[in-house]
Each structure stands twice: as C-alpha cells, then as structure tokens.
Amino acid sequence: MPTTGAKILGLSTGHPGLPVSQDDLYTTFYADFYRDVPDAEKIFKASQVHTRYLAWDPREHFTGPATPGMQQRMDGWEEHVLALGAETVGALLKGVDAADIGSFTMASCTGYAGPTPEMLLAKRFGLPVHLRRTFVGHMGCYAAFNALKVGLDSVAARPGELAIVSCCEVCSVHVRPEMTKEQVVVHSLFGDGAAAVLLGADDGVGPAIVRTHTETHYATPEAMTWRVRDDAFRMTLSAYVPAILAGAVETFVENLLRPVGLRRQDVSQWGIHPGGPKIIDLIGARLELTEAHLAASRHVLASRGNCSSATILLILEQLLSGRHGQAPRAGEFGVLMAFGPGLTMESALVRF
C-alpha cells in the first residue's frame, strides 16, 4: 500500500440557524408557491429530506411580488459564507499555530465576491501574509474533492506546513419563481452548510487520504447544469442523472481501487453524495452495498438536505462518529464519492 501524502488532522462542520421542517416549509410556503405545478407536493416530499438549514428562509425573503435581485443574493451569500467559514475554520484552528498554515483552499459554488472569502478569513485568523490561497468556484457538488486535491498537493510539496480546506454553501439565496416540476425537485433538496478539514503530513494521526480519482462524462454536459441568470443562479437536473451515474459507478470505483490493489469487498465504509434519494438507491444497488453502508448518506440527506460541496464532508463526519453503525477501525478503508455538472464523478480512498 503506497504511503499517503496527507492525513485529516481535524474536521469541523456547521450550519446557519436552526433546522427547518420540510413539511412545515411546504405547508407554509411552497404549497402556494407551486400551486400551479401538478403533483408539486408529491414531488417535493419524494426528496426524503425531513429538515434543512436555511440562511435565507423563503418565508422571509420571497414573500413580496418582486424577488430579491442578484445583488441582494450575493450580499446574502457573502454574509453567510463568511459566518459559516469563520465558525468551521475557527474550530479547526483552536490549538494550532497560525504560522504553520501554508495553504488555504475554499470551495463554494453559490456565490462570488472579491476579495474572496478565504482571504477575509485568513485576515480574521491572523494567517501568514505569504499564505497560498485558492478559491474553487462553481464546480458544484463534487468541488470538495477539487479543494482537497489542492490541499493534498500543498502538503506533498511542503510537508512541514498544514493546509486548510473549506467548503461553504448558501444554496437558499437562489430560490427562483419558476413553476416547473424540475425546479420543485431542485428546491426540495438543497440546504445550507459548511465543513472544513485540516490536512497535514502523515504522522500516524487521523484518516489518511490514499488517492483520488476523477471521471468526466463529456457526452452528457446538459444532464446537470448550474448557470448564472439575471435574477438568480439556475440549476437544471435531468431525471436520467441517477441512471447515468449508476451505469458508470462500478468501473469508476474499480478505477479508484485497482492501482492500490484493492477491490470493493475490501472497503467497509462508504460515503455517497446524496444528490437525491434515487442516486443513493441506484448506486447502492449497483455496488451491492447494504443499508448499513448507505446509512450515513441517507442520514445527511434526511437531516440536512444536499449542501452541495460541503455534503461529502458532512457524511465523512457521520462515518467517523459511528452513529450509524460501528465506527471505522484503524486500517479499514472507506470510499467517498460525489457528482456534479458535466457529468463529473469524483472520489477519494481513505484509510482510517
């Protein structure tokens, strides 16, 4: 087994405010909002989301005849992404010498501002002025892996330094008055959340990231999109996405594991990005996973919704906690995977 270049030395997660009941949200807002969409309630509740955290509760921000403009939405994103980033990164830095941080990468696909949030957070926490900073924008639900890879490369190049990787998403600022079944699905799924990890050289402490693997399906670029429009960002999501992913996932996982001499049967922990319940169902069936293997992914979907790039780290937190079964034992392997526009599939092999 090759020696890894980095370990996860710390993991912190956060959400804005208190959880919002999905049933209450539908009854008090979306029932009227989607009153002209056939089967809206059935579609909304099929998401299997029970609660979400929302920085912008639509019952407060989308009640008048005019919806918030892009400037208001970006202001809301910046306010809350900085708050979530401060909460999660601040928790990581407790007991850490700021001078040891050599790299800070942040992923967010729900907004833009310059200076980018990681610069303002670096200032807040007194990180070095020569800090290497990267902002990963608009890559969608798989962006945590892209941010992690920047952190892994940083630690590999400079093993005496630590790297911060942060994912902060404020999906709730992009509610849009579009009366289609597709948008009912989108607005039933997404929540707000953040997660951050501290990476360092392999010192025997924490889960090791053994390798990562990427595959992009160039033939399906329109199956999932995330574009900026005058009024808000707009997501499209083909009903065929779960089937496309399920059809490719066996080979995808084999390509992740084969270079280090592992097979699926050697993996005891699984984290599958819950882009929706069908994605979990079909991928779980194709990989012959048990409900115990899928429990952490289902829990995050039910209790927090899809928090875009932060979601896979929320699932990792659940796996490490052992709340849905036995916590990983030293030496066991886990596979994390997420999907997004492209379609793009990202994965990481973790040794606990």
113 SS3 class: coil
Residues 130 and 22 both lie in one domain:
yes
Residue 16 contacts residue 84 (beta carbons within 8 Å): yes
- Structure tokens that stand for 16 in this block: 């804005």
Q: Which of the residues in the chain have pLDDT under 70? A: 1-5, 204
Cα dihedral 37, 303, 225, 334 in deg (nearest 10): -150
DSSP letter, residue 342 = T
DSSP string, 18-36: S-EEHHHHIIIIIHHHTTT
**CB contact burial 306-318 (16+ within 10 A = b; e otherwise):** bbbbbbbbbbbbb
CA dist., res. 147 & res. 245, Å (int)? 22
**Would 238 be classed as within a structural domain?**
yes
- pLDDT score, position 343: 93
Q: Which amino acid would we find at residue 264?
A: R
Q: Which domain holds residue 47?
A: 7-200
Residues 49 and 184 both lie in one domain:
yes
**Would 298 be classed as within a structural domain?**
yes
Domain holding 52: CATH number? Answer: 3.40.47.10
Q: Which of 143, 168, 200 is the last residue of a domain?
A: 200
Residue 6 contacts residue 155 (beta carbons within 8 Å): yes
- pLDDT score, position 204: 64
**Would 149 be classed as within a structural domain?**
yes
CA dist., res. 328 & res. 332, Å (int)? 6
Residues 57 and 155 both lie in one domain:
yes
Q: Which of 174, 200, 226 is the last residue of a domain?
A: 200
DSSP string, 204-223: S-S-EEEEEEEEE-TT-TTS
Domain tally, the chain: 2
DSSP string, 221-286: TTSEEEEE-SSSEEEEE-TTHHHHHHHHHHHHHHHHHGGGT--GGGEEEEEE--SSHHHHHHHHHH
CA dist., res. 163 & res. 151, Å (int)? 6
Residues 88 and 116 both lie in one domain:
yes
DSSP string, 304-319: H-B-GGGHHHHHHHHH
Residues 127 and 215 both lie in one domain:
no
* Positive or negative: CA dihedral 325, 283, 192, 96: positive
pLDDT in tens, 122-175: 999 999 999 999 999 999 999 999 999 999 999 999 999 999 999 999 999 999
**Would 1 be classed as within a structural domain?**
no
Residues 54 and 173 both lie in one domain:
yes
Residues 164 and 230 both lie in one domain:
no
Residues 132 and 55 both lie in one domain:
yes
Residues 347, 218, 255: CA angle, nearest 5 degrees: 35
**Would 120 be classed as within a structural domain?**
yes
Q: Which of 166, 200, 234 is the last residue of a domain?
A: 200
Query: Which pTM was predicted?
Result: 0.96
DSSP letter, residue 327 = P
Residues 179 and 68 both lie in one domain:
yes
Residues 167 and 223 both lie in one domain:
no
Task: Name residue, tokens 């899928």.
Answer: 294
CA dist., res. 109 & res. 171, Å (int)? 9
Residue 317 contacts residue 296 (beta carbons within 8 Å): no
Residues 148, 346, 332: CA angle, nearest 5 degrees: 75
Residues 190 and 308 both lie in one domain:
no
67 SS3 class: coil
Residues 40 and 67 both lie in one domain:
yes
**Would 2 be classed as within a structural domain?**
no
